[in-house]
Every structure is written in structure tokens, then in C-alpha cells.
């Protein structure tokens, strides 16, 4: 996208009244994430959950679902957080706060499909990061979760054209960003970058949002961009995409992101990609439960 | 209970001992030995079927059964029994729809385009370890359907082989029960299947494209003659082979394929650690191995 179009898009997005505001609990959550895993403060998480009655109720409901219930039902937010584990609660908080960015009637695409894909990419990113010994799997998780945030922007700033792009992508069975480029003249990667800058999201995550479809020179975005790019592709190849068939063949070992990570992280060469792919069907189930719990209110 | 086409009729209950940690080790052992991976959403299936084997050998806990699977002298025969259980019910026509979609929407168009450039208008598929014929008939029906569209004017051949004489004879008959035909889409059913009493007969128009024969995949001299294929399917056969035989057979399949040809395994079967010649490629919901003409990049060489 050229600078002039980008400039016009930026002013269009920043000036619009409907510019999504950063969710209230996102900042403290981002702050929690900056700390090493073992130092995450459980009490702080309980406090954040208690802020919002509907989220608190969801936590308790999920903790008491067949999947998580222990010996006795959880009745307090604290016991629900204990039984779900802080990371799962954080996942729930994230997806919940992000799903409240826009009113339910402004979605142009099915929000459950959107969140399944975003959460799926987040989980795959984190797992991938752990496998290759990338030092910050939680950052990878966050980058995965936010990578398509531009879709939300597009729903708000150009609902009609965006709807056309989605319909076009489904009809022609092409990637969403290709269809957006043709119909809108920009993609959710471009608008997502603008939102990320506006929200002051860390720049490496903003790079992942902007470059996840076309990573370009891998040195520019670094490992995080490559991780998000590959995880997004993998999810689209494993029933965690945008809900339509993309007739294509992906040769991961020959993707620029893969080749780049191979150089940076030698343990990449040990990955059993076939097994990892098969195990994604497990993620699909976990993600399905999570999204169902967010949207069942 | 998931809607699963590989489910047997009596498999509706979730096993009591599903949460036993020994199952994870059994699952990993099965993967290590056979290359078949049971993801969590199929886990109850593995556990249910392994429970039947547990009873048969008199093991009281999954842990005891794991010992049975790892200790001599039983381990090889018991692993074979378990694999037999795991793959039961996997023989039906149109078994893996994601594989079929990949074939019709990506693989056939790509192979045909490459061949058309060379003025070839014939495709050759091989169903290796075809058992009682469900797979080759599925492939032939799909190819027949494609000759009405993308492959108009093309000819094709499906070579179907199996080690077992009785399986080959049964395959040649092309007669199935309602369970085996349950996944066939209605339009295919209408065109290619005739109901005779309680049985379902495959049409001659399909049969004529298939040549059945007995073949031992470990017979090197016979395997040398298998050449010039665009696509090879070999589902749930290599899982029974030891490491060396697997490597040798994969080499034969590699040689049997034309450049840019595709090799399909069972939907949750992997070649990891067996062969590095093929490239693992992904399609929506399915994976396959591709005989690429380019070299595979190695670690550290972009």
C-alpha cells in the first residue's frame, strides 16, 4: 500500500467517531503480561475479573463446566480462578474485553468465527514459541490474539465495502487480504497497524499485526512476525480459519518465515510438524469451548 | 459425542478410565511405533478400543496394559492387535472428506496443469494396500466425475494392490453393506451405486477403470515395476511395518511417483523420522507428501 493511501486511511480511521477505544481491562492485562510467568499475581487477576460482573459470572460458569469442575462447585470468583488457572482466566478476560470493543450489531463477519481464529492463532503461536524456545511465549500469544484486530476496524470504518470483500473472498475462495485489497484498497493488516499504534501496543506486536500476511524481509519484523504468520497459516489449514475453503497447498518448510526461524532457532529443525498439525484438532476444541463461554450470556 | 465417521455402532459411551495418565504414554507409544496420532478429540476412541484389548489380555489398569505393550515377548503382537483395533471401521468409501477435497480442488488441478503442458492427458493413481476396495472405488468415482469437468477428454487408471488374496477378490466384486457406503455423497450414490437387496453394487463404469492385483509392498523386485504414478494412496498400511521396511517402502513409493506427484497416508498418519525425501504439504484439513523437484532447504541455509 502506498504512503498516500495509507495517510488517507489513517486520517479516516483516527478521525472517525467510531474508533474503537482500548478496553478498560486491557492495559492492566498488558501490564500483567510484562512480568515473568512465575510472578503473575493471582490476586490481581481475581481483582480484574471482579471488575466486571458478566466476566465474573462467565468465569464461575466455565469453572463449573464439565471440563474444569473439581470436587465441589466454584462459588466465588477466587475459587473459579483457582480451578481454571490464571492463564485460562486471562484468555477469557482478553477475548471478552476485545469482543466488547464493538457492539454486537456492528459485526460484519460472524464474531464467533473471528474469535475462534484469533484464539486459535494465539494458542498455536504460544505453543510454537515454546517448541522453538523463543524467549517470550506470552508475547507470542498476545501477538496471535491481536493479529487480526484490523478486522474490527474494518467492520467499523467501512462496513459495506468490508462485507463485499468478505463475500468476494468466500465466493472466489481467495485470502481475505487479497479481497480487501481489491475492494477496499487496503487490508485489515493496514488498518490493524493504525489501531495498534493508536492504542500504543508494543511495536513488535504492531509489526506482527501489519506483516502477518506478507512478512517481507523477515529481519524487519523479527521472529514474532514469522511466528504469527506461520500460526495464522496453520490455523487456516486446520479448521480454525475464516470458515470457508481456501483451495491451496502450503509447504511450510519452504515458507520465508519458517526458513528465517530455522536460522534463528535451531530447535525449529526438530519440530514434528505433522504431529503438531494433528494435535491442532485439540486446540480447535479448547478454542470452541472458550468462544462458546464468551458468547453465551 | 463427536460426529465421527470412523465410529463403530457400539461406541457411544465414554470410557471410565479416560483420565488415566498412562493413556497419554500409550498414545505416544502408538505414534512412535506406527506414526498414527490420536488427537484429544479422538482420544476416547483410542481408549475405548484399547480397553477392549486390555480385557482380552487380562490387564487390570492402563498402566498394566502399557507394560504389556512394552515388554517382551508380547509387545510386537500386542501392538499389532491394538493397531488393528484402532483402524477398525476406517474402511468405508469416501472416508476422509478433507483428503477428497484436497484431491479435487488442489491436487488434481495442479497435476493436470503440469501434465497438460507436456501434452499428456492421462492420470494414473495407485491405491497401495487397497484392502477390500473402498479406496480405489472412491478414487475412480472422483476421477470419473472430474472427467465431466476439469479433465474433459482425459483418461485415467487406478491401480489397486493388496497383500491379501481374499481382500483383492472381495475388492473386485465391488459389493458393500450400508455401513461402507454411508459417506458417499447422494449424487455419486445415484450415478455409481446400485442397491441390490441389502447390498450396494459399484457400477461397471467405475470398475472398468481399476486394475486389481496382489502385491507385497516389501517385494523389491515387484516394486521396481511400479512407476509413473501421479498420486499414491497408502492408508494405515505402513503402521504395521518396522522402521527399516517403512524406509524401504517409502523409497519405492517415491520412485513410483512422477515429479510433482503426491503421496497420501491415512488422515492422522505421519512420515516423521522415516523419510526426508518427500515434502510435507498442508491442505485445508489434510496433509500429504509431495515429490517436489526442488531440494529441501536444510537448517541454516535460507
Domain positions in chain A are 17-101, 106-297
Is A257 an 8 Å CB contact of chain B? no
In this prediction, residue B12 carries a pLDDT of 56
Strand blocks (E) in chain B = 122-128, 155-162, 175-176, 193-196, 199-202, 210-214, 229-233, 257-264, 279-283, 286-290
Contacts of A277 in chain B (CB under 8 A): 282, 287
User: Which chain A residues are closer than 8 Å to B299 by Cβ?
Assistant: 262-263, 266, 268-269
Count A/B contacts: CB-CB distance under 8 Å: 98
Report yes or no: A238 at the B interface, CB cutoff 8 Å.
yes
CA nearest A271 in B: which residue?
B272
Q: Which residue has the higher pLDDT, B126 or A122?
A: B126
Mean pLDDT for the stretch of residues A28-39: 66
Q: A106-297 maps to which CATH number? A: 1.10.3210.10
pLDDT band per the 50, 70, 90 thresholds, residue A131: very high
Give the pLDDT confidence score for residue A24 in this predicted structure.
Answer: 66
Residue of B239, B299, B300 to mutate for A, most A C-beta atoms under 10 A: B299
> Given a cut of 50, is residue A190 above it in pLDDT?
yes
Report residue A296's pLDDT band, with 50, 70 and 90 as the boundaries: low
Task: Give the number of C-alpha atoms closer than 13 A to the C-alpha of residue B170, restricted to the C-beta side.
Answer: 14
pLDDT for the residue numbered A66: 62
Domain layout of chain B by residue ranges = 22-87, 97-290
Percent of chain A with pLDDT over 70: 86
| Cα-based angle A280, A285, A287 (whole degrees, multiple of 5) | 90
Looking at residue A15, its pLDDT comes to 63
Model ipTM value: 0.84
Q: Which residues contact B158 (CB under 8 A, 6 or more apart)?
A: B124, B125, B126, B127, B136, B139, B140, B143, B209, B210, B211
Is A284 a residue whose pLDDT tops 70? yes
From A3-7, A88-92, A251-255, B10-14, the region with the lowest mean pLDDT: B10-14
Nearest CA to B243 out of B29, B32, B27, B37 is that of B32
8 Å CB contact of A274 and B296: no
What is d(CA B34, CA B31) in angstroms, rounded to the nearest whole number? 5
Q: Is A274 on the interface with B (CB under 8 A)?
A: yes
Does the distance separating the beta carbons of A251 and B299 come in below 8 Å? Answer: no
Q: How confident is the model at residue A105 (pLDDT cuts 50, 70, 90)?
A: confident
Which triple of cell numbers denotes residue A117? 481464529
B31 touches chain A (CB under 8 A): yes
Scan residues 191-230 of B and list those with Cβ closer than 8 Å to A. Answer: none
Measured between CB atoms, which of A246, A251, A262 is closest to B279? A251
Residue A207 pLDDT > 90: yes
Distance CA A81, CA B67 (A): 38
The reported pLDDT for the residue numbered A2 is 65
Mutate which: B281, B289, B295, B296, vs A, most A CBs within 10 A: B281
The CATH class that applies to domain B97-290 reads: alpha beta
Residues of chain B with C-beta less than 8 angstroms from the C-beta of A253: 279-280, 296-297
A215-251 as b/e: b if 16+ CB within 10 A: beebeebbbbbbbbbbbbbbbbbbbbbbeeebbbbbe
* Average pLDDT, 10 consecutive residues per value, chain B (302 residues): 45 72 89 81 80 90 91 84 77 92 97 93 97 97 96 97 92 95 96 97 98 94 96 92 91 96 92 87 96 63 40
Asked which of A161-165, A263-267, A293-297, B188-192 is least confident by mean pLDDT, the reply is: A293-297
Amino acid at each position: 500500500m502506498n504512503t498516500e493511501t495509507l495517510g488517507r486511511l489513517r486520517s479516516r480511521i483516527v478521525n472517525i467517531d467510531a474508533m474503537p477505544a482500548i478496553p478498560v481491562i486491557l492495559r492492566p492485562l498488558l501490564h500483567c503480561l510484562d512480568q515473568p510467568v512465575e510472578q503473575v499475581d493471582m490476586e490481581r487477576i481475581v481483582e480484574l475479573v471482579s471488575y466486571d460482573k458478566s466476566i465474573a459470572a462467565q468465569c464461575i460458569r466455565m469453572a463449573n463446566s464439565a471440563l474444569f469442575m473439581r470436587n465441589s462447585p466454584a462459588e466465588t470468583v477466587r475459587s473459579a480462578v483457582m480451578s481454571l488457572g490464571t492463564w485460562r482466566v486471562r484468555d477469557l478476560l482478553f477475548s471478552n474485553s476485545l469482543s466488547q470493543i464493538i457492539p454486537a450489531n456492528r459485526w460484519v463477519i460472524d464474531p464467533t468465527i473471528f474469535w475462534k481464529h484469533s484464539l486459535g492463532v494465539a494458542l498455536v503461536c504460544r505453543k510454537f514459541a515454546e517448541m522453538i524456545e523463543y524467549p517470550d511465549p506470552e508475547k507470542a500469544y498476545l501477538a496471535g490474539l491481536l493479529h487480526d484486530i484490523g478486522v474490527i476496524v474494518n467492520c467499523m470504518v467501512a462496513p459495506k465495502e468490508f462485507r463485499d470483500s468478505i463475500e468476494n473472498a468466500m465466493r472466489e475462495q481467495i485470502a481475505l487480504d487479497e479481497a480487501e485489497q481489491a475492494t477496499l484498497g487496503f487490508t485489515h493488516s493496514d488498518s490493524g497497524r493504525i489501531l495498534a499504534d493508536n492504542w500504543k501496543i508494543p511495536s513488535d506486536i504492531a509489526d506482527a499485526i501489519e506483516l502477518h500476511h506478507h512478512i517481507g524481509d523477515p529481519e524487519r519484523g523479527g521472529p514474532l512476525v514469522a511466528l504469527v504468520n506461520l500460526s495464522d497459516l496453520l490455523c487456516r489449514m486446520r479448521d480454525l480459519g475464516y470458515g470457508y475453503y481456501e483451495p491451496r497447498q502450503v509447504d511450510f518448510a519452504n515458507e520465508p518465515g519458517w526458513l528465517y526461524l530455522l536460522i534463528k532457532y535451531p530447535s525449529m529443525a526438530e519440530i514434528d510438524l505433522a504431529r503438531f498439525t494433528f494435535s491442532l484438532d485439540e486446540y480447535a476444541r479448547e478454542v470452541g469451548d472458550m468462544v462458546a463461554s464468551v458468547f453465551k450470556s | 459425542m463427536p460426529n465421527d465417521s470412523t465410529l463403530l455402532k457400539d461406541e457411544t459411551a465414554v470410557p471410565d478410565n479416560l483420565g488415566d495418565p498412562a493413556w497419554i504414554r500409550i498414545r505416544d507409544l502408538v505414534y512412535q511405533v506406527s506414526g498414527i496420532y490420536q488427537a484429544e478429540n479422538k482420544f476416547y476412541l483410542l481408549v475405548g478400543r484399547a480397553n477392549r484389548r486390555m480385557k482380552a489380555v487380562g490387564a487390570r489398569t492402563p498402566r498394566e496394559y502399557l507394560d504389556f505393550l512394552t515388554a517382551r515377548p508380547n509387545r510386537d503382537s500386542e501392538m499389532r492387535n491394538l493397531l488393528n483395533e484402532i483402524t477398525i471401521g476406517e474402511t468405508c468409501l469416501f472416508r476422509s472428506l478433507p483428503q477428497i477435497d484436497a484431491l479435487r480442488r488442489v491436487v488434481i488441478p495442479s497435476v493436470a496443469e503440469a501434465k497438460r503442458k507436456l501434452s499428456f492427458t492421462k492420470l494414473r493413481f495407485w491405491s497401495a494396500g487397497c484392502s477390500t476396495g473402498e479406496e480405489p472405488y472412491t478414487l475412480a468415482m472422483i476421477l470419473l466425475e472430474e472427467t465431466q469437468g476439469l479433465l474433459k477428454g482425459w483418461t485415467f487408471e487406478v491401480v489397486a494392490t493388496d497383500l491379501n488374496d481374499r481382500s483383492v477378490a472381495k475388492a473386485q466384486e465391488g459389493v458393500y453393506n450400508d455401513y461402507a457406503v454411508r459417506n458417499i455423497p447422494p449424487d455419486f450414490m445415484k450415478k455409481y451405486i446400485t442397491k441390490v437387496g441389502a447390498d450396494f453394487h459399484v457400477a461397471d463404469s467405475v470398475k472398468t477403470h481399476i486394475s486389481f492385483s496382489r502385491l507385497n509392498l516389501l517385494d523389491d523386485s515387484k516394486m521396481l515395476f511400479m512407476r509413473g504414478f501421479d498420486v499414491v494412496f497408502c492408508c494405515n498400511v505402513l503402521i504395521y511395518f518396522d522402521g527399516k521396511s517403512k524406509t524401504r517402502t517409502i523409497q519405492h513409493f517415491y520412485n513410483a511417483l512422477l515429479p510433482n506427484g503426491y503421496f497420501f497416508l491415512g488422515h492422522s498418519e505421519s512420515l516423521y523420522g522415516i523419510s526426508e525425501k518427500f515434502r510435507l504439504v498442508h491442505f485445508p484439513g489434510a496433509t500429504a507428501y509431495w515429490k517436489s523437484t526442488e531440494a529441501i532447504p536444510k537448517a541454516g541455509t535460507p
